[in-house]
């Protein structure tokens, strides 16, 4: 019996040793996730935001990313969750894709529409996979050997007053927002874009809890307020580690200190700060 176990260990040894994951924080919802020699980047390329309501990548970080300097030297997939300016800039994404010809881009159709008006689009269009599943639908693709499950998650609500009809309307109703589950080595990472904590229905439908997700990136609103939000975090997704993103810089210290004792919750403070897990 021991001999059989030993043989199995020798044959399967390379499988038994996990490659693990390293996550670099970029800005807002922007991350670089690496496993072995593979990296994916999500929502990392956008311009400085006016005001102080979210972190933006500074010029030197943008230069480092586009130039493919370490740790951005093996980015095989760039994913963009939606077209908002705190997640995506068409000019910067086009520059990056031109300078990194190995990289493929996955995004909603609305993002490709914005890229199509950029100079240089012709040079990158063959490496763009734009897809917008219907609500409550998903799709799985494989890009540069990385399986990616794409799920449609409605953008979080932003209610404004329509003075003509005297009603409240959701300004973000028509924004195509995607969630991604990336399989990297033997680990899985989930990024939700600007999903809504009020949307238990989608999370029930997608059954992410059956995916054994290692790291999930959650909008801060999931960690504030109603009990149902934590039901999504803990039960409907149920990742080993949760990263809290989209934190207003003035609240960063508060979130960081509140979760400092909780090893399973990660709050990044500075650009390029890094967390690795087994």
- Residues in touch with Zn ion (CB under 5 A): 84, 194
H/E stretch holding 2: helix 2-16
Which C-beta is closer to Zn ion: that of 84 or that of 149? 84
| CB-count exposure of residue 189 (10 Å: 0-12, 13-18, 19+) | buried
Q: How far is the CB of 173 from Zn ion (least distance, A)?
A: 12
- Least Å distance between CB 82 and Zn ion? 6
DSSP class of 48 = P
Residues belonging to the chain = 278
> Between 126 and 174, whose beta carbon lies closer to Zn ion?
174
Q: What is the rounded CA–CA span in Å between residue 147 and residue 101?
A: 19
Judged by beta carbon, residue 84 or residue 104, the one nearer Zn ion is: 84
Q: How far is the CB of 149 from Zn ion (least distance, A)?
A: 21
CB atoms within 10 A of CB 80: 31
Tell me the β-bridge partners of 160: 169
DSSP 63-107: HHHHTT-TTSTTEEEEE-----TTT--HHHHHHHHHH-TT-EEEE
CA angle 133, 196, 25 (to 5 degrees): 90
* Shortest reach from residue 119's CB to Zn ion, in Å: 25
- Shortest separation between residue 148's beta carbon and Zn ion, angstroms: 20
Sign of CA dihedral 155, 161, 165, 166: positive
Closer residue to Zn ion, CB minimum distance, 118 or 156:
156
Which CB atom, from 69 or from 251, has the smaller least distance to Zn ion? Answer: 251
User: Burial level of 31, CB count in 10 A (0-12/13-18/19+)?
Assistant: buried
Closest approach of Zn ion to the CB of residue 159, in Å: 14
Work out the number of other CB atoms within 10 angstroms of the CB of residue 157: 15
88 vs 203, beta carbon nearer Zn ion: 88
In the complex, what is the shortest distance from the CB of residue 65 to Zn ion, in angstroms, rounded to a whole number? 20
**Identity of the residue, 179 or 241, whose beta carbon is nearer to Zn ion in the bound complex:** 179
């Amino acid at each position: 019996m021991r001999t059989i176990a030993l043989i199995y260990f020798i044959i399967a040894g390379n499988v038994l040793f996990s490659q693990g994951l390293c996550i670099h924080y970029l800005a807002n919802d922007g991350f670089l996730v690496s496993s072995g020699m593979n990296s994916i980047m999500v929502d990392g390329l956008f311009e400085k935001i006016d005001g102080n309501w979210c972190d933006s990548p500074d010029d030197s970080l943008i230069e480092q990313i586009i130039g493919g300097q370490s740790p951005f030297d093996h980015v095989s997939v760039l994913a963009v969750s939606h077209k908002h300016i705190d997640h995506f800039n068409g000019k910067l994404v086009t520059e990056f894709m031109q300078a990194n010809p190995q990289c493929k881009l996955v995004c909603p159709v609305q993002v490709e529409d914005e890229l199509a008006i950029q100079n240089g689009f012709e040079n990158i269009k063959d490496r763009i996979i734009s897809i917008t599943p219907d609500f409550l639908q998903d799709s799985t693709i494989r890009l540069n050997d990385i399986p990616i499950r794409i799920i449609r998650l409605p953008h979080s609500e932003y209610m404004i007053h329509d003075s003509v009809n005297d009603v409240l309307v959701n300004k973000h109703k028509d924004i195509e927002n995607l969630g991604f589950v990336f399989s990297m080595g033997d680990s899985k990472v989930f990024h939700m874009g600007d999903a809504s904590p009020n949307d238990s229905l989608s999370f029930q439908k997608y059954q992410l809890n059956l995916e054994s997700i290692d790291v999930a990136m959650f909008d801060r609103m999931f960690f504030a307020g109603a009990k149902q939000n934590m039901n999504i975090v803990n039960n409907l997704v149920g990742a080993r580690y949760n990263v809290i993103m989209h934190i207003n810089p003035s609240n960063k210290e508060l979130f960081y200190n509140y979760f400092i004792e909780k090893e399973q919750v990660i709050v990044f403070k500075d650009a390029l700060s890094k967390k690795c897990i087994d």
